[in-house]
Structure 1
């Protein structure tokens, strides 16, 4: 059902939003995310884990008027197969907490990111995404969420990030092929372990 919905969306037009399997957020943060998505006027697929919003079982904290404002542009689900979603041609960007797995999956699928790191390694990962690889933007000002989403989905900056993301994706794919650097490093590790 989820992929049927994505199949009917234009290429690179959907914001995929997911904050991993353990991240928690306050009701105020959740409300800001909701209004940011609504105000962007862009299509979105938002994964909201049950219990991920403090004091809420699932979607009770959605602000009044949100569903009417969004209409058919947005879908909220409890879970999605993240790498398969990121691989879909309809996905234009990934709004993420920048956990390492999510960051790698986005890179492997060539999808630019909107970065909202929470804790642990996430701020460092986000800085690599934004400042080193230049395949994402940091969401520092929650009041600007809608504008940032539009920039990444529709703007020149987003197009440039998408181009760099696809280039990085190609490099990753090459490194994993036989003789590539990642493949060779794994073979060296296995050889080292077996030599003991």
Structure 2
């Protein structure tokens, strides 16, 4: 019986598409590492509507993440737009339901990191990345950032931090990812995939 190739789960929430594009760029970095697959998944939005009103599969974009996607991953890239220096509610809602994975230690020892997109340049990129790391630490995951050996960290005029990839989307028309932001995302994905193979 063939064994399934290990994969990095790129799990994100995106409202305007910028965080989703970062997920795609991270996937490109993962693809540079032989022996590791990419699985890109999103989470459903949350609503005060208490009746089931969303289809089980989104109309477009990445499929919704399942618990099995998270449990069986070899590594995790967690992405969200910034909401007052923290992750968006839909992603937090998904993570809040993973207590049994914490209890069983299913994610312990696996590499993980965070990425974010903000409307304003100083709109909480670093605090969002750091606060997103807290549940990863509780799960016993090994944190992965972006080392300064990545030249784009020295050249970026928008997003990008050693704590993880970030993007400055702007408060008006959405700005596309810069070349530096793309390079940082790809380096992050490649690093996560390499670490996942070493830690298996």
The TM-score normalised by the length of structure 1 is 0.45
Task: Select the structure of larger CA radius of gyration.
Answer: 1
Q: Which has the higher helix share?
A: 1
